[in-house]
């Protein structure tokens, strides 16, 4: 198992280098001159040239890329924001914990609510609960996130006065952003889990288990679920990426100072160091999430576990 984890960790290094290379290249070839955006249209060509020189934008692609990769991976320096004049890493360290906490909490809710709900619906298929929850799940998937967020504000802030409208400070400020961020994921997980369990219910090994006279609980929890849950677990890593992407809307609506709004503003301003920093940090967390999912997958899937355990034994 350790071999598997070490192998995945090594792969992550390549992933980070690849992400860094890609984001640098994409931003490099994006139209737009940061110097002009910062100094304004009235700046003379001389002033623009001097500012480009100061930012190092006059250097060749290779020189800039090398400098960026060296600063990033050797000095752990993400650079300084062109527009905010502040170290990107400082701002990210300030904002990323909020976005990551928001994203992870959404994922945990997706898992803890969505999967049991899907299992329950599948086990009681065509019941009123199944139909009711699946209709709700469809509504949850179809509803635009910002609309749902505003409806919650109207209900919980304006009408009931239970929760703060926006901002940060107390635990109450987290409630609506988390619910609005998690809803689509819960609905999606519930539907996927239901489909996966229904597929498994009809499998031969389940019929065999029942034919052997095993108790229904044993059939469900020991034979059916470990197999049904595999595809759902497999997509949790991608769900983390989606959750982080979705926080842009949540952060905007709830004035939640996270990475999402920071990055979108930076993209329009061609603030290259900020965009690169945000993408790399988000990629880092998405990679870690995928690693955890893969480890869970390997733990749950005996075929993968056997593959690595077997290899380890073989080498010995």
Which residue lies nearer to other proteins by CB, 45 or 204?
45
CB of 55 to other proteins, least distance (A): 9
Helix axes 172-201, 236-253, angle to 10 degrees: 150
88 touches other proteins by CB under 8 A: no
Q: Is the dihedral of CA 49, 54, 55, 56 positive or negative?
A: positive
Run of H or E including 54: helix 45-55
40 touches other proteins by CB under 8 A: yes
Which residue lies nearer to other proteins by CB, 160 or 211?
160
CB of 157 to other proteins, least distance (A): 6
Structure tokens at 21: 């290379």
30 touches other proteins by CB under 8 A: yes
Which has the closest alpha carbon to 85: 24, 34, 30, 46? 34
Confirm if 239 and 251 have CB atoms less than 8 A apart.
no
264 touches other proteins by CB under 8 A: no
Which has the closest alpha carbon to 20: 79, 87, 82? 79
User: What residues numbered 54-83 form the site for other proteins, per CB under 8 A?
Assistant: 83
Which residue lies nearer to other proteins by CB, 90 or 216?
90
CB of 39 to other proteins, least distance (A): 6
Confirm if 308 and 3 have CB atoms less than 8 A apart.
yes
The position carrying tokens 């849950």 is 229
Which residue lies nearer to other proteins by CB, 6 or 135?
135
> What is the number of alpha carbons within 13 Å of residue 105 lying toward its C-beta?
16
Task: For residue 213, give the DSSP letter.
Answer: T
For other proteins, which residue of 62, 74, 268, 314 counts as binding (CB under 8 A)? Answer: 268
The contact mask relative to other proteins for 128-167 (x = CB under 8 A, - = no) is: ----------------------x--xx--xx--x---xxx
Task: For residue 112, give the DSSP letter.
Answer: I
84 touches other proteins by CB under 8 A: yes
Binding interface with other proteins (CB under 8 A): 30-33, 36-45, 47-48, 51, 83-86, 90-91, 94-95, 150, 153-154, 157-158, 161, 165-168, 251-253, 255-258, 261-262, 265, 268-270
């Amino acid at each position: 198992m350790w071999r598997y984890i070490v192998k995945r960790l090594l792969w992550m290094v390549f992933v980070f280098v690849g992400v860094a290379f890609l984001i640098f290249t994409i931003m490099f070839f994006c139209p737009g001159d940061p110097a002009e955006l910062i100094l304004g249209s009235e700046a003379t060509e001389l002033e623009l040239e001097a500012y480009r020189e100061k930012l190092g934008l006059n250097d060749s692609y290779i020189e800039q890329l090398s400098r960026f990769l060296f600063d990033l991976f050797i000095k752990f320096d993400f650079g300084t924001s062109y527009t905010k004049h502040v170290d990107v890493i400082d701002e990210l360290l300030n904002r990323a914990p909020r976005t990551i906490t928001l994203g992870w909490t959404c994922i945990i809710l997706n898992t803890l609510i969505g999967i049991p709900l899907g299992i329950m619906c599948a086990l009681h298929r065509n019941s009123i609960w199944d139909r009711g929850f699946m209709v709700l799940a469809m509504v949850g998937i179809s509803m635009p996130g910002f609309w749902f967020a505003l409806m919650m504000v109207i209900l919980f802030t304006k009408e009931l006065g239970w929760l703060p409208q926006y901002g940060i400070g107390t635990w109450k400020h987290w409630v609506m952003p988390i619910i609005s961020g998690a809803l689509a994921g819960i609905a999606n997980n519930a539907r996927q889990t239901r489909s996966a369990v229904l597929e498994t219910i009809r499998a031969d090994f389940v019929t065999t288990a029942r034919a052997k006279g095993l108790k229904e609980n044993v059939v469900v929890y020991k034979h059916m679920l470990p197999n049904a849950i595999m595809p759902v677990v497999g997509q949790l890593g991608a769900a983390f990426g989606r959750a982080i992407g979705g926080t842009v809307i949540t952060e905007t609506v709830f004035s939640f100072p996270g990475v999402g709004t920071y990055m979108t503003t930076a993209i329009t301003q061609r603030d290259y160091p900020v965009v690169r920093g945000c993408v790399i940090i988000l990629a880092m967390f998405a990679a870690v999430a995928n690693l955890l999912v893969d480890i869970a997958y390997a733990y749950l899937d005996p075929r993968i576990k056997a593959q690595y355990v077997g290899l380890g034994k073989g080498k010995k």
